């Protein structure tokens, strides 16, 4: 058995008499399994760094895949490996989207207004209400409306002329290091969407706690790779939108930490809450425009610091 932090899927490593091993996955949702299997095969055929899927059961509730070992990027946050991973991300987002069947995505084919509100409500109901801190729902919803307007803007404003793949949970725990190279896993929640989301998810992962200077260096490396794939990229507009996605992703993970921690009582997620709140504090302190755009979330973030 391979221990999982937040998933209900069951992973086992099976080894034959010659020492060769595979990973067997038993899922709980056929549509989610189907999305992962399709994406893995699509990306693998394009030469992108994902595990190869070997076999799928007739009912699509189980499958086997390449064993990439036990080393995750989170345990080796080396700047060189981080840069390799974020450069590879740009290829998955651009090249991986070529001839992609978006209808296979689970649970929705695109990052849209409805899915944005799902995650904002996740923060409100699974985290904020769990803290027992008093807040005004109308004022909070006003800020949510503003965030929806910003995040649902067309990616063509950044000069990207193609559909792009949004990994959605791109973080160092979902990057395996095999033979010194990064490989991506757990992308079954991916869909069509903006590139900034994954960069925010990766560089502002709470427990990774990357230094601001390293974040900037990695953003530069990512944008260099993205420009090579999409020369039409308008970098100032891309960078202007990034803090909004960092804020959104931080609220989304706080919702996840609240659900897994407050309700499921999983200690790993409870331990992550103070780090995510520190990210929230640092983000607002570094960006006055965000304070003005989301004044009530900013006010709440100050009240939440008592939890740290």
| Cβ neighbours of residue 85 closer than 8 Å, sequence gap 6 or more | 73, 172, 175, 182, 202
Average pLDDT over residues 66-92: 97
Of 273, 286, 131, 120, nearest to 207 (Cα)? 273
Q: Is the pLDDT of residue 229 over 70?
A: yes
Q: Is the pLDDT of residue 216 over 70?
A: yes
Cα distance from N-terminal residue to C-terminal residue, the chain: 34
Show the 3-state SS of the chain: CECCCCCCCEEEEEECCCCCEEEEEECCCHHHHHHHHHHHHHHHHCCCCCCCEEEECCCCCEEEEECCCCCEHHHCCCHHHHHHHHHHHHHHHHCCCCCCCHHHCCCCCECCHHHHHHHHHHHHHHHHHHHCCCCCHHHHHHHHHHHHHHHCCCHHHHCCCCCCEECCCCCHHHEEEECCEEEECCCCCCEECCCHHHHHHHHCCCCCCCCHHHHHHHHHHHHHHHHHHCCCCCHHHHHHHHHHHHHHHHHHHHHHHHHHHHHCCCHHHHHHHHHHHHHHHHHHHHCHHHHHHCHHHHHHHHHHHHHC
How high is the pLDDT of residue 170?
98
Average pLDDT over residues 4-31: 91
Q: Is the pLDDT of residue 308 over 70?
A: no
Q: Is the pLDDT of residue 211 over 80?
A: yes
How high is the pLDDT of residue 305?
78
How high is the pLDDT of residue 6?
64
Q: What is the mean pLDDT of the chain?
A: 94
Average pLDDT over residues 28-40: 97
- The answer to whether the beta carbons of residues 74 and 157 sit under 8 Å apart is no
Q: Is the pLDDT of residue 70 over 90?
A: yes
How high is the pLDDT of residue 154?
64
Average pLDDT over residues 37-45: 98
* Pairing of β 21-26 and β 62-66: antiparallel
Q: Of all residues in the chain, what percent carry a pLDDT higher than 90?
A: 86
Average pLDDT over residues 207-234: 96
Average pLDDT over residues 279-303: 95
| Cβ neighbours of residue 95 closer than 8 Å, sequence gap 6 or more | 46, 48, 229
**In this predicted model, which residue has the larger pLDDT, 6 or 293?**
293
pLDDT band at 41 (very low <50, low <70, confident <90, very high): very high
Residue with tokens 């953003």: 219
Angstrom distances, CA of residue 43 to CA of 61, 92, 172, 274 = 21, 7, 19, 36
The 10s digit of each residue's pLDDT in 120-177 is 999 999 999 988 889 999 999 999 999 999 998 766 668 787 899 999 999 999 999 9
Q: How far apart are CA 46 and CA 184, in angstroms?
A: 14
Average pLDDT over residues 186-206: 97
Token pair of 298, please? Answer: 């900013």
Residue-range domains of the chain with CATH: 71-307 (3.90.1200.10)
Q: How far apart are CA 286 and CA 41, in angstroms?
A: 41
**In this predicted model, which residue has the larger pLDDT, 22 or 207?**
22
């Amino acid at each position: 058995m391979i221990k999982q932090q937040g998933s209900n899927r069951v992973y086992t490593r099976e080894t034959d008499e010659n020492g060769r091993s595979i990973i067997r996955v038993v899922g709980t949702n056929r549509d989610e399994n189907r999305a992962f299997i399709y994406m893995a095969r699509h990306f693998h055929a394009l030469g992108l760094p994902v595990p190869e899927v070997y076999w799928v059961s007739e009912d699509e509730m189980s499958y086997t895949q390449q064993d990439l070992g036990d080393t995750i990027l989170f345990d080796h946050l080396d700047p060189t490996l981080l840069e390799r991973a974020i450069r590879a991300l740009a290829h998955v987002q651009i090249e991986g989207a070529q001839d992609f069947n978006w209808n296979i995505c689970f649970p929705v084919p695109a990052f849209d207004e409805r899915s944005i509100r799902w995650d904002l409500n996740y923060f409100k109901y699974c985290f904020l209400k769990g803290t027992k801190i008093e807040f005004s729902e109308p004022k909070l919803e006003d800020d949510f409306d503003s965030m929806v307007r910003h995040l649902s803007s067309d990616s063509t404003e950044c000069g990207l002329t193609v559909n792009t793949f949004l990994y959605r949970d791109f973080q160092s725990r979902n990057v395996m290091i095999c033979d010194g190279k990064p490989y991506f896993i757990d992308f079954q929640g991916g869909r069509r969407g903006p590139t900034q989301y994954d960069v925010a998810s990766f560089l502002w992962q709470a427990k990774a706690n990357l230094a601001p200077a390293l974040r900037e260096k990695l953003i530069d490396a990512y944008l260099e790779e993205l420009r090579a794939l999409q020369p039409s990229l308008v970098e100032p507009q891309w960078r202007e939108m990034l803090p909004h996605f960092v804020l959104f992703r931080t609220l989304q993970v706080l919702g996840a930490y609240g659900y897994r921690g407050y309700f499921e009582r999983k200690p790993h997620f409870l331990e992550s809450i103070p780090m995510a709140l520190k990210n929230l504090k640092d983000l607002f302190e570094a960006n006055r425009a965000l304070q003005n755009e989301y004044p009530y979330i900013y006010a709440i973030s100050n009240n939440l610091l008592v939890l740290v």
